[in-house]
Amino acid sequence: MSMIAAVQRRLLVLMLLCYLLAGVLPAPGERLRESALHVPMVLLAVMLFNAGLGVRVADLRAVAGRPVRLVLGIAANALLPLLVLPVVALCLRTWPDPAEAEGLVVGLMLVLAMPIAGGAASWGQSAGGNVPLVVAMVIGSTLLSPLTVPFGIRVAGGLVGPGGTGALDDTERIDTVARTGAGVFALVAVVLPCLAGIVVRIALGEGRVRRVLPSVKAVNLVNILLLCYINAAGALGQALSRPDPDLLILALALSGAVCCLTFRCGRWLSRWTRCDRQDTVSLTFATGMNNSSAAAVLATGWFSHRPEVLLPILSYSLLQKIVAGAAGRTPRPRVREAAV
């Protein structure tokens, strides 16, 4: 087994170790986040450039001939948060601290408003899904993100503002993010790097790209782990300095419930549209997986002083990989007992 494959197999454990390091030693991560180089944005852009570099244009052309599944997956990923978040906000009305509840709502909306995660293609491939379809959904969702991300944040602002679950002191900040910050962020840090990677792949040709892909995968793994540490440094450092077990448990429970629901909705949609198994796997992962790294970078840029916004994003980042692993397992066929 190669070193890259070994790291990929243990990625979840390594992410947990990065979170632990961020909680115990947050200072270097906070310095990197606050540096003039905007390190998290650069790391995210490099990661999405590498994701674009891994896209085969021929696969996208093949999917274009069957647009129904493609549109359904992109629409489900974009619209599902608009149905889920109001229910979450309603359930949190009884939480004793309205500011904490609203921070959790904003954090969940930030991650759910992000485009489909590039990792959905890898998980879909491992589960025997239609990989070109997943890749096309990722690209389509990414291209729409300058519209869908600000819209999702506006919805979150409506839920936590006047008439929402309470009086959040960051309501104006949410409005600012929705009006300007989120759209620009999605365009500059998500769309353009991904498109640049696709263009570079076309320019280099398939042969040259295949030779550099192992190095690209290695850089991506380093990026993922470094982003985990930097994004978690502020939130977990503050959470551990002022422990609030109830809030941590609530963030994990909400993230897990919403994550399982999104995957389950993908299964329901695939049954409703009578997909074959390959398309079912693709639709399930496209509906259930969001780019949590992009959500964490946006959250640390605007809400670094509010750990309750980052906690559900960090939780979701871990839990969606666990749920994806469970969703990708092929169910064992039932063995009938022999007639006596």
- Residue 279 confidence class, pLDDT cut points 50, 70, 90: confident
Query: Residue 243 has what pLDDT?
Result: 67
- Residue 332 confidence class, pLDDT cut points 50, 70, 90: very low
Q: How far apart are the first and last CA of the chain?
A: 47
Alpha-carbon distances of 273 from 45, 58, 125, 269, 276, rounded to whole Å: 35, 26, 21, 6, 9
- Residues 188-240: pLDDT tens digits? 888 888 889 888 888 888 888 888 888 888 888 888 888 888 888 867 766 66
* Structural class in CATH, domain 40-327: mainly alpha
Alpha-carbon distances of 38 from 27, 66, 142, 176, 193, rounded to whole Å: 16, 40, 21, 20, 15
Q: Please report the DSSP string for 9-21 in residue order.
A: HTHHHHHHHHHHH
- Residues 281-324: pLDDT tens digits? 888 888 888 888 888 888 877 777 777 888 888 888 888 888 88
* Arithmetic mean of pLDDT, 97-126: 81
Q: What is the mean pLDDT of the chain?
A: 79
